[in-house]
């Protein structure tokens, strides 16, 4: 993988030392530059998890992706920079119940000098701006909210954001290929929330920019502002202007009936 091209993609200089401070910079820079998006599902594009395919999509074509893609490629970047990375599975809490096993991919990262481990997640949409201390069970304040990790049954960990459950983490290290069956489910099943709506979102400083359907949404500390996007050209222009994502057609969500 071309590390320098990846760092150029997220607008950050190569490190002098791949330490915790640089990891913080990487985490924020990635979320500012690379959107969390599920547009491939609604453009008829098959999602692939090979390193070459991920690099081509995210770096060369300047697209985004969802957790398996974003954290999948980010893990390889971190490893090539000298960090120790473990891929972990989580089940996202959907308000009433947890999603399936391998519902989400996140990373447990330790620096070369042993600092950490850190919970690293650039593939969840609205999440922490900076890595979280994996061993800390107290409140961790972040521009993205107040986070807390708590012990859960069977050796798992529960992540909370502003007092609300986010996901339950299984602490056993996994290989990226183990996530493929659930990745396939997420992109094809009518029971997956990813097939039911389209989203493209990224950090914009301490604010967040999102396109969902035909709405451009900006959320910051002053609240939420929605701007309707009428024509296809308005939608495509917004993707290009706000995310650098160049599409030849508007993503179409299939009917769930």
In the annotation, is 27 catalytic?
no
Cα 168 from Cα 170, distance rounded (Å): 7
Q: Which of 27, 30, 42, 121 is catalytic?
A: 121
Identify whether the C-beta of residue 178 lies closer than 8 Å to the C-beta of residue 170. no
In the chain, helix, strand, coil percent, each to 5?
30, 30, 40
Which tokens is 177 given? 């290929």
Q: Which of 67, 183, 198, 200 is catalytic?
A: 67
Which tokens is 168 given? 């339950």
Distances in whole angstroms, Cα of residue 182 to Cα of each of 23, 36, 104, 195: 28, 18, 9, 13
Our separate counts of H helices and E strands in the chain read: 7, 13
Q: Which of 104, 127, 183, 198 is catalytic?
A: 104
Residue with tokens 């400083």: 205
Which are the contacts of 95, defined by CB distance < 8 A and separation ≥ 6?
none
In the annotation, is 200 catalytic?
no
In the annotation, is 220 catalytic?
no
Alpha helices in 11-159 (DSSP H): 20-33, 39-43, 51-55, 67-81
Tell me which residues are annotated as active site: 67, 104, 121
């Amino acid at each position: 993988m071309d590390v320098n091209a990846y760092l150029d993609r997220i607008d950050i200089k190569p490190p002098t030392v791949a330490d915790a401070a640089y990891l913080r910079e990487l985490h924020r820079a990635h979320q500012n530059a690379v959107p969390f998006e599920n547009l491939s599902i609604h453009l008829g594009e098959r999602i692939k998890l090979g390193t070459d395919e991920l690099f081509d999509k995210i770096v060369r074509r300047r697209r985004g992706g969802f957790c398996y893609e974003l954290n999948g490629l980010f893990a390889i970047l971190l490893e090539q920079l000298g960090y120790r990375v473990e891929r972990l599975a989580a089940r996202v809490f959907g308000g009433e119940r947890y999603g399936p096993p391998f519902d989400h991919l996140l990373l447990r990262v330790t620096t070369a000098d042993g600092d950490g481990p850190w919970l690293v997640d650039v593939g969840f949409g609205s999440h922490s701006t900076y890595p979280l201390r994996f061993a800390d069970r107290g409140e961790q304040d972040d521009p993205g909210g107040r986070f807390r990790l708590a012990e859960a049954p069977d050796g798992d960990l529960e992540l909370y954001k502003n007092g609300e459950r986010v996901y339950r983490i299984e602490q056993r290290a996994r290989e990226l290929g183990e996530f493929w069956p659930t990745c396939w489910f997420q992109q094809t099943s009518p029971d997956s929330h990813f097939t039911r709506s389209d989203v493209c979102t990224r950090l914009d400083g301490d604010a967040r920019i999102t396109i969902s359907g035909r709405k451009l949404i900006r959320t910051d500390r002053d609240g939420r502002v929605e701007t309707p996007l009428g024509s296809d050209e308005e939608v495509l222009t917004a993707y290009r202007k706000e995310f650098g994502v160049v599409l030849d057609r508007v993503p179409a969500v299939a009917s769930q009936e």
